[in-house]
A and B are shown apart, each in its own frame.
Chain A
Amino acid sequence: MKPALLPGSLWAVLAAVFLVLPFAQHDYLLGIGLSFLMWLALTQSWSVLSSMTGYISLGHVVFYGLGSYTVVVSWQQLPLWVSIPLGGLLAAVFAVIVGLPVLRVRGPYFVILTFGLAELVKYVLLAVEAAMGVSSRLLFGAPDLVQIYWMMLSLAVASTALLWFVHHSRFGHGLKSIRENEDAAETLGVPITRYKLWAYMLSAVIPGMVGGVMALRSTYFEASQAFDPMISINMIVMALIGGGTTAMGPLIGVAFLVALSELLWTEAPQFYMVILGLLLVIFVMKLPNGLLGWHEARRRKHGRAAL
């Protein structure tokens, strides 16, 4: 695999920008940076399962929500350096428990099943919270934006590194063989059940921790927001716009959608959703391999024309 589109220098520049950003003392910019890092962390994690294996999860918000809930429930009882990783751990445990039955379901049924599962967990939590007489929980004395930013930066770096390592590992090649032809992969001795379960678990940990950190940012918790299906949909659209299985694809998609949502989300949320929907339609119909795939196809065509 030639890393023509993955210049290390770009990542270095990006890292430098994000390392300097907090010192600019500019809350608005820092907020945008935070949302960029959050989506990067989520989408890179999502890719570990979905781009690699082709099992498209439309319910990754469930891990985010569980992490959020963990931090909120243990607020002022556990220190954050315990509760945030605990959120990630619980998300991973949940992934392992539901993973075995859920990952047996293939193709589009897997997609709608993950969606249904996330909604099920959301409604169970809503019903439980209502039965306990809690409608929303507030967090008092949450850390300030700069601290939250540093936590998110480390999660984004961890998530990107995770995808990089999986992409270049033997394990990653196994996952890609599942995507190309699961039955053939199994026949050739790829332990598909174990690999899929590992991928599912690995892709759950960081979203769980991201959810915990974002609970600190919003300083309150409401199940319908922490489990908002839009979070899952955003991840898919971002990955789909970028395309490919490398860490570069999500980066392109995240940059594009964060800019778009910054322009439209607060001013005209419904218009933003219409645009998002149209993007899905256009990319599925015209560019199913994303911008990265389109670029590579063009390069190949031009390369051949030159010969």
Chain B
Amino acid sequence: MGVLDVLFSGQLLFAALLTGALYAIVAVGLNMVYGTMRLLNVAHGDLVMIGAYGAYWFFTGFGLSPLAAAPVVAVGCALLGLVLYRLLFAQLLRTTGNPVQLEARSLLLFFGLSMVIQNIMATLETATPRAYQYLEVVYRVGGLAMTGNRLAALLVALAVCIAVALFLRFSVFGLALRGVIERPDAARIVGVNVERVHWVSVVLGFGVAGVAGVLVSMMEQFSPFIGFPFTIAAFIVIILAGLGNIAGGLIAGLLLGAIEVYGVALTSPNWRSVLLYGIFVFVLIVLPKGIFARRGRA
């Protein structure tokens, strides 16, 4: 098969869509947590990992299908978020005034949390990758072959992203959330309960990350250490899309997925991480203010 056949195959397009939708759904949660609180959650990918193990436990323990387990896993991750918010984040937000300092401190805090989460999981489940088989039936449309689990993952990821985007666009909470992202002080003055926006963002963001983990576990094997590449991808997506811009995040996620899938198809799987980190470094250097460009104008 020539290069052009590879590029124009429906198979690759499907793979790109799927990767992109996954990145988008992972980024949704990070966007809310980072956007509203300026907490640089580098442990975000570890919630995806927890979600993956959650689905695995329900599947192997109770024979529960991952799609049915997804809401339960989401609630579990959301509760974890609530506990961490009460124990750590709220205090960090209260005691650190300066936003630059807050971001630096939160980064180290989340790095510590990430190490704790990964290694507790590695102690519980060993570092050996796990996987289970679910919906392996193959659907064919024209020349395109899709397994049921991948198709389901794509549809769920897109549905969740669109649902969150619509909710934030049209609900009062969404308005408050955008207010807190753009002008936290002004939002407080006009009567927005900023603390409530904070904890709801943590709960929603962590829950959605858990769902993303369930989707990952349906298709690929996972270990306690799969989280970080997802965090990196999510950062690329929110920097490209801008804070609070969930719909833009969907487009940026699909773009990143396409670059990765087509890039790997043209080179070799060895270059996948090179490509991901390369884009990450490039985006941070070329947009040195990253998301702050918006704040500078305001």
Please give the residue numbers on chain A whose beta carbons come within 8 Å of chain B beta carbons, in ascending order: 54, 56, 58, 101-102, 104-109, 111-113, 116-117, 119-120, 123-124, 126-127, 130-131, 233, 236, 240, 270-271, 273-274, 276-281, 284-285, 288
Inter-subunit contact B105/A288 (CB<8 Å): yes
Complex CA–CA separation, A107 to B107 (angstroms): 10
Inter-subunit contact A284/B270 (CB<8 Å): no
Inter-subunit contact B118/A273 (CB<8 Å): yes
Contact with A along B35-59 (1 / 0, CB 8 A): 0000010100000000000000000
Inter-subunit contact A124/B119 (CB<8 Å): no
Most buried by A among B108, B122, B277, B290: B108
Q: Is the interface of A mostly helix, strand, loop or mixed?
A: helix
Inter-subunit contact B109/A280 (CB<8 Å): yes
Complex CA–CA separation, A240 to B108 (angstroms): 10
Inter-subunit contact A130/B284 (CB<8 Å): no
For A102, list chain B residues within 8 Å (CB): 285
Chain A residue nearest to B112 (CB atoms) is: A280
B263 to chain A, nearest CB (A): 12
Complex CA–CA separation, A54 to B268 (angstroms): 39
Complex CA–CA separation, A124 to B274 (angstroms): 6
Inter-subunit contact A284/B105 (CB<8 Å): yes
B275 to chain A, nearest CB (A): 9
Contact with A along B92-136 (1 / 0, CB 8 A): 100000001001111111011111101110110000000000000
Given the interface pairs A107-B100, A112-B42, the reply to whether A277 lies near B270 with Cβ below 8 Å is no
Complex CA–CA separation, A281 to B105 (angstroms): 9
For B145, list chain A residues within 8 Å (CB): none
Chain A residue nearest to B103 (CB atoms) is: A108
For B107, list chain A residues within 8 Å (CB): 108, 111-112
For B, the interface residue count at a CB cutoff of 8 angstroms equals 39
Q: Which of A113, A116, A274 contacts B120 (CB 8 A)?
A: A274
Complex CA–CA separation, A228 to B119 (angstroms): 16
Inter-subunit contact B288/A109 (CB<8 Å): yes
Q: Which of B112, B122, B288 contacts A104 (CB 8 A)?
A: B288
Inter-subunit contact A278/B112 (CB<8 Å): yes
Inter-subunit contact A281/B112 (CB<8 Å): yes
A47 to chain B, nearest CB (A): 16
Chain B residue nearest to A230 (CB atoms) is: B115
Most buried by A among B103, B232, B274: B274
For A113, list chain B residues within 8 Å (CB): 281, 284-285
Complex CA–CA separation, A119 to B274 (angstroms): 8
Inter-subunit contact A106/B100 (CB<8 Å): yes
B94 to chain A, nearest CB (A): 11
Inter-subunit contact A277/B113 (CB<8 Å): yes
Inter-subunit contact A270/B104 (CB<8 Å): no
Inter-subunit contact A277/B112 (CB<8 Å): yes
Chain A residue nearest to B124 (CB atoms) is: A270
Decide if B88 is an interface residue (CB 8 Å cutoff): yes
Decide if B235 is an interface residue (CB 8 Å cutoff): yes
Decide if B139 is an interface residue (CB 8 Å cutoff): no
Most buried by B among A106, A119, A240, A276: A119
A-B contact pairs, 22 of them (CB 8 A): A58-B111, A107-B100, A108-B100, A109-B284, A111-B107, A120-B281, A123-B273, A127-B271, A131-B270, A270-B122, A270-B123, A271-B119, A271-B123, A277-B111, A278-B116, A280-B108, A281-B116, A284-B92, A284-B109, A285-B91, A285-B92, A285-B109
Complex CA–CA separation, A58 to B280 (angstroms): 15
Decide if B278 is an interface residue (CB 8 Å cutoff): yes
Given the interface pairs A108-B40, A108-B107, the reply to whether A120 lies near B116 with Cβ below 8 Å is no
Given the interface pairs A123-B277, A130-B270, A131-B270, the reply to whether A280 lies near B105 with Cβ below 8 Å is no
Given the interface pairs A108-B40, A109-B284, A273-B118, the reply to whether A279 lies near B123 with Cβ below 8 Å is no
B109 to chain A, nearest CB (A): 5
A218 to chain B, nearest CB (A): 21
For A107, list chain B residues within 8 Å (CB): 100, 103-104
Complex CA–CA separation, A107 to B292 (angstroms): 12
Complex CA–CA separation, A288 to B119 (angstroms): 24
B residues 112-168 with Cβ under 8 Å of A?
A: 112-116, 118-120, 122-123
Inter-subunit contact B274/A123 (CB<8 Å): yes
Q: Which of A108, A120, A278, A279 contacts B104 (CB 8 A)?
A: A108
B residues 7-40 with Cβ under 8 Å of A?
A: 40
Not counting A109-B290, A112-B40, A117-B281, a sample of 17 additional A-B residue pairs whose C-beta atoms are within 8 angstroms of each other reads: A56-B104, A101-B285, A108-B40, A109-B288, A116-B232, A116-B280, A119-B273, A123-B273, A123-B274, A271-B123, A274-B116, A277-B112, A278-B112, A278-B116, A281-B88, A281-B109, A284-B109
